[in-house]
Structure 1
Amino acid sequence: MQTPSANRALIVNAYSYRNAGDAAIMLSTAELMRDLGATSVGLATRYEEDRDSYHAWGISTFAPLVAFPARGGSSGLARLVRFASSALLTCAVVFLLGPFLNSSTARRALSAIRPRLRPLLSANTAVVAGGGYLYSSRRRVNLSLIHSCLSIWICRVVAPKCLMMPASIGPVTRRSDAWLIGASLRGVQPVVREFESLTASTHPPKLSKPRLCPDVAFYGLGNVDGDIDHELRTPAGGTSGPLVRIVALDWSWSGSVRSADFDRYVRAMASLSNQLNAAGMRVELGGHSAIPEHGQDDVAVCREIAELCDFPVQVDEDCEVSHLWARYGELDLVIGARLHSCIMAAAVGTPVVVLGYQEKAKGVASMMGPGVPFFWVDDLPVETIVLAARATLQQRMTASTELKHRIRASYEQ
């Protein structure tokens, strides 16, 4: 196998397409890499069911660099054994052959021994996906973090070039997690979308000086020069009242909020819907992630909220990323507990109110502009949010154009 000659990029550490925020990150990353000269973009993902969805966007999908068996296919022990064996063999072979990959013989040997590394061996650039997965979870052993960090290490050893997309790093609360993250990113320029998560870490990883860059989803699905004309954008409201979408979050899986407060959160979201409706706004509910097997079913939470509302509220059950990109451009305001609902809305010029469940949301909200309202999702001051919604309706997210240019400029360096 020869050293790659075409300008190919391979994105690693992708998460499920069924989470629209993660899909927006991957699609925007692919768009950015193409604009920077990549002739083809591939995606190494542990979610085999995503193949057709990404193929529709011109992105080829491949198996992850290290096997990560899906839940439900086998017992937990069997999954752990398969993951461990794949990780040990892959890391051992990469460690032994890594210093000799300038040799076509070594590259052919690595390809033959570990076929799942062939897409990486054929790539000029390995792209470490952005997002918010480099943190300490409430699980004592976070296999997902281990898998992500191993993938980063393999990329920086094997690929001629390794780029990191803007990510949230932290909060890191275990020394072992801090070491793992720091070791995997050694030799890679860390790029963060906000510093709040690192600051909140009790055990921050040792990193070379991180570079700040807006979340890549601000780049969107069109060329950076195709910015929205905020003066010509037509609001959806008018005589029938402004149209507001509340994007709910199933955060029952997260260790960052108190799970015992989940019922109170649902009631508060219903109360917010009621008060917005009473204030003359049209309200709809929607989600971003419908992955029940991972404890993420935003649509189910929307239904719970709707049942508690005093008026008939529409629940949009479509979480497909292309539908949401289009829908956010038709709204007057998005009040989002899903961070990427606010990012995607802002990217198409729609004003937002951010309801955060982790430090990353507060950091990204501040990057959107000093006037973007932020509230913690586990303690919602409903009346104050309604006042913020009234004020925010008069604004336009003109900062999104500048954020897109900053992303492009950051990676052109």
Structure 2
Amino acid sequence: MRKAIICGYYGQGNAGDEALLLAILERLPNNIKPIILSGNPLKTSKDYGVISYSRQGIIKQIFKLGKKDLFIWGGGSLIQDITSIKSPLFYLGLMILAQLKGLKTIAYAQGIGPIKTPFIQWLTKQVLKRCSGVSVRDRESAKLMEAWGIKYFIGADPVWALSAKISQDLDLLPSPRIGVNVRLNSSLNEAKLEIIIQSLKRLQQQTLANIILIPFQESKDLEICQKIGELLTQNYQIVNLENPQELKGLFRELDLMIGMRLHSLIMASSEKCPCFALSYDPKVTNLMKEIDIDGYELDNFPTDVQTITKKWLKIYHNQPRLSDDNLDLLEKNALKHQTLLDIFDS
């Protein structure tokens, strides 16, 4: 049986990345045994029934694999240097090591960039050129592959095809319900957060809705959710679900989702929940364009509470959703990435 090291931002408590991992594992051919790089190997092994190693452990595993085995960048925005230059260097270093070892290397459903550092741009280009297969999840990444002359194909984010389920322990406040996901980020300062909170209060007054605050990564989302809740004072609930399928199922129960994280918007849209985006990153802006989600970029966030509330009310009352045909197409496009692995299913 072939082995495959699947490398991503796993075991860090980020629900979006956990959803990516589970989406890959759901579609992995039976003859491929996954070995997962994780920030919390014990938890990853327990949650998904797989072998998992930390950073140092995964390097040792690369040396143990043979030329028929695989090394996979498993979805997400692994190669970008906006938050840190260390992160892309780490993931590129692992891929280079795998290529030097003679493994089959795959860049799976990647969102490449933004990359500002010329050396990181050059190194990424060289590494991708030596991959056995490359797929990307958005048009901007595709444009970069075209410019670099790299053979690739494009598919939707794998989370579009992730199966969803309703948690048996879910005890939500009554309908109507408006979901909110925000995260700590330099583009969301105290003044903007205060405007969002005042807009949510006004939205509640006009809809009589309960606010469901949904952290996607406890270390970066929970504190800010708690702060919003304290200022709302009533008719709110914090729902912290670790299971990606249960988290995706939650969005079936909402009447509107105001989301900052990419996968909060993907999960909600895939479950036919109307969405409004608060974009802090080009990947969120790209999604807004690709599936026609209304929203604001936080760098150009308005200061008028009435204007914001009016926009939210329009979406709340008109309930714009993706059509069944569009959802089917997105799910099929999300499964395109699997063709990178199907060639090893023998």
TM-score by length of 2: 0.81
**Which structure has the greater CA radius of gyration?**
1
Q: CA deviation at 1:211?
A: 2.4
- Tell me if 1:61 matches 2:52: yes
Match of 1:233 in 2: none
Instruction: Report if the CA contact (8 A) 1:337-1:377 is conserved.
Output: no
Q: CA deviation at 1:40?
A: 2.5
Match of 2:11 in 1: 16
Instruction: Report if the CA contact (8 A) 1:168-1:194 is conserved.
Output: yes
Match of 1:345 in 2: 268
Match of 2:180 among 221, 246, 269: 246
- Tell me if 1:276 matches 2:164: no
Q: CA deviation at 1:378?
A: 3.9
Structure 1: give runs of 5+ residues left out of the alignment: 1-5, 69-113, 227-235, 292-296
Taking a change above 3 Å as real, the CA distance of residues 123 and 26 of structure 1, as seen in their structure-2 partners, is: farther
Within 2, Cα distance between the matches of 1:284 and 1:115?
A: 43
Match of 1:51 among 42, 52, 71: 42
Write out aligned runs for 1:9-408 (5 A).
9-34=4-29, 37-45=30-38, 47=39, 49-64=40-55, 115-118=60-63, 120-121=65-66, 124-137=69-82, 139=84, 142-158=85-101, 160-188=103-131, 189-196=133-140, 206-221=148-163, 241-252=175-186, 257=187, 262-280=189-207, 281-291=209-219, 297-309=220-232, 311-367=234-290, 369-370=291-292, 372-381=293-302, 382-391=308-317, 393-396=319-322, 398=324, 399-408=326-335
Instruction: Report if the CA contact (8 A) 2:111-2:283 is conserved.
Output: yes
Aligned-partner residue type, residue 212 of structure 1: I
Moved more, 184-193 or 336-345: 184-193
Aligned-partner residue type, residue 282 of structure 1: N
Taking a change above 3 Å as real, the CA distance of residues 132 and 391 of structure 1, as seen in their structure-2 partners, is: farther
Name the SS of the counterpart of 2:257 in structure 1.
strand
Instruction: Report if the CA contact (8 A) 1:133-1:145 is conserved.
Output: yes
Name the SS of the counterpart of 1:350 in structure 2.
coil
Instruction: Report if the CA contact (8 A) 2:258-2:277 is conserved.
Output: yes
Taking a change above 3 Å as real, the CA distance of residues 27 and 19 of structure 1, as seen in their structure-2 partners, is: same
Instruction: Report if the CA contact (8 A) 2:11-2:43 is conserved.
Output: no
Q: CA deviation at 1:67?
A: 6.8
Instruction: Report if the CA contact (8 A) 2:258-2:275 is conserved.
Output: yes
Within 1, Cα distance between the matches of 2:277 and 2:57?
A: 36
Instruction: Report if the CA contact (8 A) 1:242-1:282 is conserved.
Output: yes
Instruction: Report if the CA contact (8 A) 2:178-2:254 is conserved.
Output: yes
Within 2, Cα distance between the matches of 1:310 and 1:355?
A: 23
Q: CA deviation at 1:176?
A: 1.3
Match of 1:106 in 2: none
Name the SS of the counterpart of 1:165 in structure 2.
strand
Instruction: Report if the CA contact (8 A) 1:247-1:341 is conserved.
Output: yes
Moved more, 125-134 or 308-317: 308-317
Within 2, Cα distance between the matches of 1:145 and 1:264?
A: 32
Write the deviation string for residues 346-402 of structure 1: whole angstroms up to 9, x where unpaired: 3333332222111111212333x23x2232134444235314432552535533332
- How many residues align? The count is 325
Instruction: Report if the CA contact (8 A) 2:178-2:256 is conserved.
Output: yes
Instruction: Report if the CA contact (8 A) 1:172-1:198 is conserved.
Output: no
Name the SS of the counterpart of 2:8 in structure 1.
strand
Higher helix share: 2
Instruction: Report if the CA contact (8 A) 2:179-2:258 is conserved.
Output: yes
Instruction: Report if the CA contact (8 A) 2:163-2:245 is conserved.
Output: no
Percent identical residues: 18
TM-score by length of 1: 0.69
Within 1, Cα distance between the matches of 2:315 and 2:289?
A: 17
Taking a change above 3 Å as real, the CA distance of residues 298 and 321 of structure 1, as seen in their structure-2 partners, is: same
Moved more, 117-126 or 281-290: 117-126
Within 1, Cα distance between the matches of 2:312 and 2:274?
A: 14
Taking a change above 3 Å as real, the CA distance of residues 38 and 218 of structure 1, as seen in their structure-2 partners, is: farther
Write the deviation string for residues 76-132 of structure 1: whole angstroms up to 9, x where unpaired: xxxxxxxxxxxxxxxxxxxxxxxxxxxxxxxxxxxxxx7432564386332212111
Q: Give every structure 1 segment of 4 or more consecutive aligned residues whose post-TM-superposition deviation is greater than 4 Å.
A: none
